[in-house]
Structure 1
Amino acid sequence: MKLQHSLGGLQNLGPVNVETRVFVEPWEKRIFGIHTVMMAESTHLSDALPEYPIDTLPTTFKNTWTWASLRTGAEGMQPFEYFKYRYYEKWLMGISQFFVDQGYLCADELAKKTDYYRGNPAAPMPEQPCPEIKTQINAYLTKGDSGLHNLEETPRFAKGAVVRIADPEAVDHTRLPGYLRNKLGTIEVVYPGAFSYFVSTGPDGIGAPMPVYRVAFKAEDIWGKGKSEPNTTIYADLFEAYLESSN
């Protein structure tokens, strides 16, 4: 996770936003809906659990779109630009750029549509009802998709083992918080089964299904006594690729 997604221990970042509402503005619900529809039509569901009828779904969307796609786009933003925008504004920019990059529409067409709806905010949105797609979306919202697999090999680490967190090569997207790199932790839970991620992270190490562990860290071991409340434990669920023997 790059700087803007790995803020643990950083100081002088300004006031903390304590807003508890999931959606602050009405348009944010639509952005979440667009993302959900894209995931429900994504080609990655052809290999997901449970099974979905992707091959016969009557949609023109023929790409893979997952949480990893959304996060990679956000993490690719210049940090100072990233902090300027609201949460769902970043979603909107990432989704819009994806559709342009993949050729579903051009930048000029997007700009014209934007200008039109700014000038006509009450204009109806385009709608193309499709019962099959609505059924697929409802099924996806209910069942989701799982990266859980049968574990074919014994996990490398057992509960109670002390491990050192790896420091893999920096990549476009990682599931390892930066502040945990090279730190020592203790295995609290070995989750049953093996887990895969939506995409391979390449040299970062996430690809084939592997065990996942809950690792406990003393806050003072991460940030030092002067920046930590006493008797505080930090927990992180980590792929096995991110763990090394402490010896």
Structure 2
Amino acid sequence: MKLQHYLGGLENLGPVDFEKKVFVQEWEKRIFGIHTVMMAESAHLINALPKYSVDTLPTAFKSDWTWASLRTGAEGMQPFEYFKFRYYEKWLGGISGFFVSSGYIEPDELNTRVDHYRQEPDAPLPDKPSAPIRDQIVRYLMEGDSGLRPYAGAPLFYQGDGVVIGDPVAVDHTRLPGYLRNKPGKIVEVYPGAYAYFVNTGLDGIGEPMPVYRVAFDAVDIWGEEKSEPNTTIYADLFEAYLQPPS
């Protein structure tokens, strides 16, 4: 992942914020709710394992929106800009940018609404979802969206196999932690079935269904002896596209 999205093993990035509250401010709950509603109405759910009739929902939202959409927007931020904002401020920026770029709202209209609520913070908020949308949101929260998909192939690796993690070209979004690139590991579990990802990442290699593995790494192989506690093992779940046989 890019610098700002996986800081494992990097030094001098403190101080670390040990805030334990999920939502520090009330408005953050609403941003989480907006994101959840967008996922529950996402057009891609028509092909999900739970059979959702999202094409008949009484909503103007007709786009795909997943965790990948949210993360792609955040990972695309300039790193120094990224560190300036709080967690849910980054969510707000990504969601707002998506609605503008997708044509759901014009920039001037968004600015007008922002100014309105700044001047009248107690003004009524938009109406709550209609009953069909509310039912869809509840069902989505209960049943979710599984990445498990049919797959005709066989795993390339098996439990006990040694592997080396690849070093694919950097793309807009990846599921490979940067500190694992080019590191040796061992397969400790091959998960049953195969899994697709929400989006195709292109040269990064994930999107279509493929096996997923639990890989173990000796901490010393990642960070060196001086920066690792003895007898420490790091585990990561990784798509097959990121794994290579030892040379």
Q: Where on the TM-score scale, by shorter chain, does this alignment land: which range?
A: over 0.9
1:62-108, CA deviations, whole angstroms, 9 ceiling, x for partnerless residues? 11111000000000001111011110000000000000101111111
Does 24-33 or 148-157 show the bigger shift?
Answer: 148-157
Aligned-partner SS, 1:164: strand
- The aligned runs of 1:39-118 (5 Å cut-off) are 39-118=39-118
Question: Structure 1 segments of 4 or more deviating over 4 A?
Answer: none
Aligned match of 2:162: 162
- The aligned runs of 1:233-244 (5 Å cut-off) are 233-244=233-244
Aligned match of 2:210: 210
Unaligned runs of at least 5 residues, structure 2: none
Aligned-partner residue type, residue 245 of structure 2: S
Aligned match of 1:189: 189
Q: Percent identity?
A: 69
Aligned-partner SS, 1:55: helix
1:161-213, CA deviations, whole angstroms, 9 ceiling, x for partnerless residues? 11000111111101001110110000011000100000000111102100000
Query: C-alpha separation between the residues in 2 aligned to 1:53 and 1:68?
Result: 22
TM-score (norm 2): 0.98
Q: What number of residue pairs does the alignment pair up?
A: 247
1:11-30, CA deviations, whole angstroms, 9 ceiling, x for partnerless residues? 00011111111111111110
Aligned-partner SS, 2:169: coil
Aligned-partner residue type, residue 211 of structure 1: P
Aligned match of 1:12: 12
CA drift of 1:112 comes to: 1.1
Query: C-alpha separation between the residues in 1 aligned to 2:184 and 2:112?
Result: 53
Query: C-alpha separation between the residues in 2 aligned to 1:36 and 1:128?
Result: 14
Query: C-alpha separation between the residues in 1 aligned to 2:48 and 2:21?
Result: 31
Query: C-alpha separation between the residues in 2 aligned to 1:89 and 1:20?
Result: 17
Query: C-alpha separation between the residues in 2 aligned to 1:129 and 1:114?
Result: 21
CA drift of 1:49 comes to: 1.3
Aligned-partner residue type, residue 23 of structure 2: F
Aligned-partner SS, 2:176: coil
Query: C-alpha separation between the residues in 1 aligned to 2:10 and 2:103?
Result: 39
CA drift of 1:229 comes to: 1.3
Aligned-partner residue type, residue 161 of structure 2: A
Aligned-partner residue type, residue 67 of structure 2: W
CA drift of 1:34 comes to: 0.2
Aligned-partner SS, 1:214: strand
Aligned match of 1:200: 200
Query: C-alpha separation between the residues in 2 aligned to 1:3 and 1:129?
Result: 38
1:132-173, CA deviations, whole angstroms, 9 ceiling, x for partnerless residues? 100000000111101102342221101111100011111110
Aligned match of 2:130: 130
Query: C-alpha separation between the residues in 1 aligned to 2:7 and 2:225?
Result: 18
TM-score (norm 1): 0.98
Aligned-partner residue type, residue 93 of structure 2: M
Query: C-alpha separation between the residues in 2 aligned to 1:149 and 1:115?
Result: 45
Aligned-partner SS, 2:100: helix
CA RMSD of aligned residues (A): 0.9
Aligned-partner SS, 2:179: helix
CA drift of 1:128 comes to: 4.9
1:7-56, CA deviations, whole angstroms, 9 ceiling, x for partnerless residues? 11100001111111111111111000000000111111011111100111
Query: C-alpha separation between the residues in 2 aligned to 1:4 and 1:188?
Result: 29
Query: C-alpha separation between the residues in 2 aligned to 1:235 and 1:20?
Result: 24
